[in-house]
Amino acid sequence: MRSILLLLLALPVVSASSAPRELSENQKVTHVLNRLGYGPRPGDVARVEGMGIRQYIEQQLHPEQISDTATESRLAMFPSIHMNSGELLERYPHATLAVIESAGHALMHERPALLQALLGEWLDRIRPDSH
């Protein structure tokens, strides 16, 4: 009797959870953004709802068609992105030291030849008689 009562109490939970439930459009969009990306950012759900899920998926499958103007305008403030290595060294003479510092404290033990080359190059650039 007791086991039948427990079974009857559990039955509505099992039948309710096993039935497919209908998702709202907002829930569908959120699900797609979670599955195809890193989750929705502010404004993403409204944008995808406006364009439609199918169109959003097509857009993601063809990223070359997505405008990069916002990113390009933000990167415009960093002229070094378009410089070659010679221009970078000329513009940022302390770059070699930055490389050495970021390589860690064990550089002289782990890669002494690299350290010697980097320091030599830097010293050549800062010596007054080398220009």
Mean pLDDT (the chain, rounded): 79
Q: What is the mean pLDDT of residues 71-87?
A: 84
In a domain, 95, yes or no: yes
In a domain, 1, yes or no: no
62 and 30 in a common domain:
yes
In a domain, 118, yes or no: yes
In a domain, 52, yes or no: yes
* Whether the predicted pLDDT of 18 surpasses 90: no
* Whether the predicted pLDDT of 30 surpasses 80: yes
In a domain, 73, yes or no: no
Q: What is the pTM assigned to this prediction?
A: 0.47
118 and 88 in a common domain:
yes
83 and 125 in a common domain:
yes
pLDDT band at 69 (very low <50, low <70, confident <90, very high): very high
The H-assigned helical ranges of the chain are 2-18, 25-36, 44-51, 53-61, 69-75, 85-91, 95-102, 107-110, 112-126
